[in-house]
Chain A
Amino acid sequence: MREMNRSQHFIRKYFSGISLSTVIHIAAIIIFFWLVFSPVIGLIAEAIRTSLSGSSDLISPFNLSGRRIGLLFSSISLATLVATAGILVGTLVATFLWRKFRSFAPVILLLLLALAGIPPYIHALTWLDVFAAIHAYFPLFPVSGWLPSAWVDLMALLPIAIFLCWVAFASVDVRLIEAARVFRPDMTVFYRIILPLAAPALGAAFGFLFLICCTDYSVPSLFGADIYALDIFARFSATGSATQAFLYAVPLLLVTIIVIFLSRSGIRTLAQTPNWLSDRWGNPPVFPWYYRLLQGIAAGIVILQILVLFSGLILSTSTLGTFFGSVFRSSDELVYTLLIAASVILVSLPLAIAVAGEMKKPGIRGSFAWCIALAPLAIPAPLIGIGMITFWNNPSLAAVYPGILMPVFAAVARFAPFAAIILYVQMRFIDPAFFEAAEIFSRSPWKKWSRVRLPLLAPGLLVSAGILATLSLAELGATLIVAPPGHTTMTIRIYNYIHYGASGEVAGLCLAITLLTLAAGICAIAALQWLYRRSGNMVFYCGSDGE
Chain B
Amino acid sequence: MYGTHWTVQDISFVIPDRARIAILGPSGSGKTTILRLIAGLEVPDRGTITFDGRIVSDSCVVAPPYERSLGFVFQSSALWPHMTVLQNILFPVDNLSDKTILLQIQGMMERMGIAHLKDRYPDQISGGEARRVALARALAPEPNTLLFDEPLTNIDHSLREGLLGLISETLRTSKSRMVYVTHDEHEARTLADTIIHLENGRIVGTETQEIHR
Contacts and interface: CB of A to CB of B under 8 A. Distances in A.
Interface of A: 173, 175-176, 178-186, 192-193, 196-197, 282-283, 286
A182 B80 contact: no
A196 B82 CA distance: 7
A181 B78 contact: no
Contacts of A179: 72, 74, 78-80
B36 A176 contact: no
B107 interface: no
Given A180-B80, A184-B92, A282 B65 contact: no
A197 B81 contact: yes
Given A176-B80, A196-B82, A197-B82, A182 B91 contact: no
B66 A182 contact: yes
| Residue from A181, A182, A184, A193 having most chain B Cβ neighbours under 10 A | A182
Given A179-B74, A180-B80, A182-B39, 10 more contacts: A173-B78, A178-B41, A178-B78, A179-B78, A181-B41, A181-B66, A182-B71, A183-B65, A183-B141, A193-B80
B76 interface: yes
Given A179-B72, A192-B91, A197 B80 contact: yes
Nearest to B75: A175
Contacts of B78: 173, 175-176, 178-179
B115 interface: no
Given A196-B82, A283-B40, A181 B74 contact: no
Interface in B77-134: 78-82, 91-92
Main secondary structure of the interface of B (DSSP, over half): loop
A282 B43 contact: yes
A191 to B, nearest CB: 12
Nearest to A185: B66
Nearest to B43: A283
A197 B141 CA distance: 23
Contacts of B40: 283
B64 interface: yes
B34 interface: no
A182 B43 contact: no
Q: Contact size class for B?
A: 20 to 34
B76 A182 contact: no
Contacts of A286: 64
A282 B141 contact: no
Contacts of A182: 39, 41, 65-66, 70-72, 92
A176 B137 CA distance: 13
B80 A175 contact: no
Contact of A183 (B62, B82, B92): B92
Interface string B43-79: 1000000000000000000101110001110101011
A179 B43 CA distance: 16
A179 B140 CA distance: 14
B38 to A, nearest CB: 11
B64 A181 contact: yes
A183 B91 contact: yes
A180 B42 CA distance: 15
B80 A283 contact: no
Nearest to B93: A183
Given A181-B64, A182-B72, A192-B91, A282 B80 contact: no
Given A180-B91, A184-B92, A185-B66, A282 B74 contact: no
Contacts of A178: 41, 74, 78
A184 B91 contact: yes
Given A175-B76, A183-B92, A184-B92, A283 B82 contact: no
Contacts of B79: 179
Contacts of A181: 41, 64-66
A99 to B, nearest CB: 13
Contacts of B36: 282
Given A180-B80, A180-B91, A192-B91, A282 B41 contact: yes
